[in-house]
Amino acid sequence: MSTPSRADGRSADAPRRVDGRSADAPRRAALLTLGCARNEVDSEELAGRLVGSGWELVAADSSAGGPAPDVIVVNTCGFVEQAKKDSIDTLLAAADVAKDGGAKVVAVGCLAERYGAELAESLPEADAVLGFDAYPDLADRLGDLLGGHAPAPHVPTDRRTLLPLAPVQRPAAATDVSVPGHAWVPDLSRRRLSDGPVAPLKLASGCDRRCAFCAIPSFRGAFVSRPPDDVVAEAAWLARQGVREVVLVSENSTSYGKDLPGGTRSLVELLPRVAEVPGIDRVRVSYLQPAELRPDLLRVIADTPGVAPYFDLSFQHASPSVLRRMRRFGSRADFLDLCERIRAIAPEAGIRSNVIVGFPGETEDDLAELETFLTAARLDAVGVFGYSDEEGTEAAGYDDKVPAEVIAARVSRISALVDELMVQRAEDRVGTEVTVLVENGEDEDFECTGRAEHQAPEVDGECIIERGSGLAPGDLVRAVVVDTEGADLVVSPREVLASAQREPAIPGST
């Protein structure tokens, strides 16, 4: 006698798991992402791998009535002390959520790669700690964990040693080394975890610079560019998912192409190609090194249609003596000259940076030099960080450490200056015209918001659009700045622009 079938085609007598689902039902995974846009790309690659292996993606918290996950994967950040703390807190919170449904908690990402077994030992709440080399077969690793066979904790290594010293030899060798965010098989290797009109797109991974304060190269590895055809193809795929702005990210975008046949002109040639992808209206480049920003690249970013005239410049300081101890280049005069050259081509270009205060040996004169630079540079946005020792870095062994209370006072001092300068810079834009990409629609509680070309996601200000505009996320709008709210701009929309259109949609309209 035949066994009765259910509506879904499975046998009514099919074996069932403890959670009531049949044994052949898809496993469920939740992904939580911390840190930078590069981690967002990595998480979407992991999501693509899981879905391609038959997994279902769900929210971590099922209290609202959604299905509970079998595994909560936390993509951690290990950049600085606060980022590490946030990652640990998120793992602990995930473990609390997992208790009720019996889900497993898995740590991946930079913190897991950097500390591996040490993290596993100090954080037993994580059921597994996996490094980057586990990414290609993550579905199998998670399946083993659910089957009672926990993978051995990742054992860290200096990832700079995994690829040849000569950059030109790396692309071929990288096929045997897991480089997160580089795999590209259309509709398989990436799965979007949000439906917004903006998405990060990875240019490269790793870094060959040896900044004294930074541990990233040791766990992200040597610099490896992605093939330009892969970048363009992924941009086209993102456009088909409704993305209108791609943000090109890496540890050091100005190095893109040094390991490719086109050499360092590769980014100069790539940007117009990405800007020409149908459906992509804006291309933004992040993480530029001032010392590597050549005139040809500066000009391509500043005046190529579809490329945002936006310069995310990693100045870090302005005192030559501090910069040399940091193993970096430049000075206040050099950096001001660079800002002037940018604005000579694109007067309304956005320029942002990050600075570190309290670096070992920093004096009051050094700090005053930084203040003078910031005041003269008129940057649109500045992130201010207090120095902290990072294991394995050169600066961790420096003498002349600045006391913690002095660092805190200097952070407050520079932050107050930066806040004032950012407000002034926003006020300078009143009366100017901006092109705004709408990211959040209006409702009874929130105003419609978006970003102009000089505003990057997360790290810069935003545009607040006058109520009653009727705009929706994904709309590209020509608008006039009418007021400011701190560093944010209040804008009055004039017209909606057609996709990939640089001029008004209706000829002669105003």
Tokens of 498: 């057609």
Strands 448-451 and 476-485: unpaired
Q: List the end-to-end C-alpha distance of the chain, in Å, as a whole number.
A: 76
Give the gyration radius of the chain's Cα atoms: 24
Residues 6+ apart with CB under 8 A from 134: 108, 141, 151, 154, 178
Cα 236 to the center of its chain, rounded Å: 19
Q: Are 249 and 41 spatial neighbours (Cβ–Cβ below 8 Å)?
A: yes
Residue type for 25, please?
A
- Close Cβ partners of 351 (under 8 Å, ≥ 6 residues apart): 310, 311, 313, 339, 342, 377, 379, 380
Place of tokens 């100090």: 122
Beta strands 128-129 and 71-76 are unpaired
- Of the candidates 143, 123, 132, the one whose C-alpha atom is nearest the C-alpha of residue 179 is 132
Q: Are the CB atoms for 304 and 345 separated by under 8 Å?
A: no
User: Cα dist. 423→70, 379, 487, 488, 491 in Å?
Assistant: 47, 10, 5, 8, 15
Distance (Å, whole) CA 89 – CA 66:
23
Strands of the 282-285 sheet, one edge to the other: 198-202, 245-249, 282-285
For 412-427, the DSSP string reads: HHHHHHHHHHHHHHHH
Annotated binding site for [4Fe-4S] cluster: 36, 77, 110, 207, 211, 214
What amino acid occupies position 194?
A: S
> Are 120 and 129 a contacting pair, CB within 8 Å?
yes
Q: Which residue has the tokens 């996950």?
A: 69
Taking alpha carbons only, the member of 457, 508, 466, 461 closest to residue 491 is 466
Query: What are the binding residues?
Result: 36, 77, 110, 207, 211, 214
DSSP string, 178-190: --TT----TTTS-
β-strand pairing of 350-357 with 448-451: unpaired
211: CB partners within 8 A, 6+ apart: 316, 326, 327, 328
Residue with tokens 């010392």: 291
